[in-house]
């Protein structure tokens, strides 16, 4: 039986859960407790970036755990140093200083604090549709009213502007604003790719008005979109970049990469985190970066991503319930005319895991190691699922 859901006795009802109990994973495949195999286009919400149980990550964790698992930032550690050196090789050279934390929301909290300290201003411009996490600070710049409404008051001074119109940002500027925060591609809201020159225009507005520009690359970063950083698609470099999700091969890590003058504005003790920069996560982070670089996972995201997207476009041609296909690299979405719940549950029966993104958008975040064969199989299954959904809804 794959559906042992006894966990529900102990945990809060906070997640849309699927009736499946996973016990094993390798690459882009996971298995449930009964041994049934699934193609994983859920990818742990993007965490399984270099594949489940990546060999390099396994070896790194095993070796590091023999030596040292925890080590506070108040003392030095060479595994951490090696991770920082690797990270600096792949990140924009301007963002040369790093703050470690343990999750996406924490990396956003850190970015908001650093920017407020540096600019001395509390006002933030965030995007309509933006998602940055659910702790109080991150939630304050997250748009969705469903997440926000029971938790007011949130941080004051946040203004939301449309994710496609730079002049609306200029209109919203006043003396209180010090920061602009944006996802280079909106993930949670449905893989929304911004207009061609949007990020460049925002960069320019920030430069002209001395605003700190934060890019949330928690979902888009590390090769996901077919570039190491999604911002490279538009040749734009932020002042602060937030990372988390897949950066440590599945172990918790958040990173806030900053221009040095921004992080240097923070004084001793003004921010910290107990688990920050722990050697176990750092060792897995080293293995993750090695895997991305040496196995050319960015190239695979381009190549296999384009096969995947073309296949989705073909599904759109053949199925009237498909409204739109979006995304770059291996960050893709299929927007339908209806709620996708039945399709997702049906997918599980057919051996395919997919993600929600709003009630009618299927989000696909497979590990970057996924190959063409599995993508073609995924497309076959999706074809079948869409046909069945059309029958259920009587759409021809
Ligand atoms: C997942 C995500 C977050 C939040 O990360 P958590 O680790 O869940 O706190 C923030 N921003 C983006 C773009 C994300 O995809």
Task: Write out pLDDT tens, residues 338-364.
Answer: 999 999 999 999 999 999 998 999 999
pLDDT tens digits, one per residue of 113-157: 999 999 999 999 999 999 999 999 999 999 999 999 999 999 999
What is the predicted pLDDT for the residue at 5? 87
* E strand segments, 208-330: 212-216, 240-243, 254-258, 322-328
Atom of ligand 1 nearest to the CA of 219: 15
Radius of gyration of the chain (CA): 21
If one residue of 49, 107, 222, 245 were mutated to test the ligand 1 pocket, choosing by the most ligand atoms within 8 A of its CB, it would be 245
Ligand 1, atom 7: closest residue by C-alpha: 104
Burial (CB count <10 Å: 0-12, 13-18, 19+), residue 17: exposed
Instruction: Return the bridge partners of 30, or none.
Output: 25, 38
What is the CA(320)–ligand 1 centre distance, in A?
32
The pLDDT, as a whole number, for residue 4 is 82
Helices and strands, number each (H, E), in the chain: 13, 15
Q: Closest by alpha carbon to 390, among 312, 334, 317, 319?
A: 319
CB atoms within 10 A of CB 145: 7
Q: Is 103 in the pocket of ligand 1 (CB under 6 A)?
A: yes
Ligand 1, pocket-test mutation among 43, 111, 132, most atoms within 8 A of CB: 132
At residue 1, does pLDDT exceed 80? no
- At 2 the pLDDT is 60
137 Cβ below 6 A of ligand 1: no
- Please list, in sequence order, all residues whose beta carbon lies within 8 angstroms of the beta carbon of residue 150, skipping any fewer than 6 positions away: none
Widest Cα–Cα separation across the chain:
65
Mutate to test the pocket of ligand 1, among 139, 218, 331, 356 (most ligand atoms within 8 A of CB): 218
Instruction: Give me the pLDDT at residue 358, please.
Output: 84
Q: How confident is the model at residue 204 (pLDDT cuts 50, 70, 90)?
A: very high
Over residues 277-307, the pLDDT tens digits come to 999 999 999 999 999 999 999 999 999 999 9
Report whether residue 240 contacts ligand 1, using a CB cutoff of 6 Å. Answer: no
Ligand 1 proximity of 363 Cβ (cutoff 6 Å): no
CA distance 278 to 386: 45
pLDDT value for 396:
72
Report which protein residue has its CA nearest ligand 1's atom 5.
104
The DSSP code sequence of 202-231 is HHHHHHHHTPEEEEE-TTTTTTTTSSSSGG
Q: Is the CB of 217 under 6 A from ligand 1?
A: no
Q: Which helix (H) or strand (E) holds 105?
A: helix 104-119
Phi, psi dihedrals of residue 256, rounded to the nearest 5°: -120, 105
Ligand 1 in reach of 221 Cβ (< 6 A): no
Tens digit of each residue's pLDDT (9 = 90 or more) over 73-94: 999 999 999 999 999 999 999 9
Give the relative orientation of helices 279-294 and 78-90 as an angle to the nearest 10 degrees.
Answer: 30
């Amino acid at each position: 039986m794959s559906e042992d859901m006894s966990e529900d006795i102990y945990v809060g009802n906070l997640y849309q859960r699927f009736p499946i109990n996973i016990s094993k994973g390798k690459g882009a495949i996971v298995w449930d407790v009964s041994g049934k195999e699934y193609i994983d286009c859920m990818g742990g919400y993007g965490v399984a970036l270099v594949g489940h149980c990546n060999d390099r990550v396994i070896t790194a964790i095993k070796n590091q755990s023999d030596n040292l698992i925890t080590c506070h930032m108040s003392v030095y550690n060479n595994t951490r140093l090696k991770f920082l050196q690797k990270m600096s090789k792949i990140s924009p050279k301007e963002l040369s200083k790093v703050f470690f934390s343990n999750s996406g929301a924490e990396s956003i909290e850190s970015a908001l604090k650093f920017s407020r300290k540096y600019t001395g201003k509390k006002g933030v411009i965030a995007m309509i549709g933006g998602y940055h996490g659910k702790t109080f600070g991150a939630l304050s710049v997250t748009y969705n009213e469903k997440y926000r409404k029971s938790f007011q008051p949130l941080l004051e001074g946040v203004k939301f502007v449309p994710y496609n119109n730079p002049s609306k940002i200029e209109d919203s500027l006043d003396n209180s604003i010090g920061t602009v925060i944006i996802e280079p591609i909106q993930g949670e809201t449905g893989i929304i790719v911004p207009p061609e020159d949007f990020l460049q225009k925002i960069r320019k507005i920030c430069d002209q008005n001395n605003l700190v520009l934060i890019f949330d690359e928690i979902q888009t970063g590390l090769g996901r979109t077919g570039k190491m950083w999604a911002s490279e698609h538009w040749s734009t470099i932020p002042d602060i970049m937030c990372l988390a999700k897949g950066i440590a091969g599945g172990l918790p890590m958040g990173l806030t990469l900053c221009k040095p003058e921004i992080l240097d504005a923070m004084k001793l003790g003004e921010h910290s985190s107990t688990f920050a920069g722990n050697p176990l996560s750092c060792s897995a982070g080293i293995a993750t970066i090695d895997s991305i670089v040496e196995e050319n996972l960015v190239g695979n995201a381009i190549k296999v991503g384009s096969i995947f997207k073309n296949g989705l476009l073909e599904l759109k041609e053949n199925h009237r319930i498909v409204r739109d296909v979006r995304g770059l690299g291996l960050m893709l979405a299929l927007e339908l005319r209806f709620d996708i719940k039945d399709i997702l549950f049906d997918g599980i029966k057919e051996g395919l895991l997919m993600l929600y993104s709003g009630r009618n958008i299927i989000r696909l975040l497979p590990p970057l190691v996924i190959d063409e064969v599995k993508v073609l199989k995924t497309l076959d299954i999706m074809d079948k699922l869409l046909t069945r959904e059309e029958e259920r809804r009587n759409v021809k």
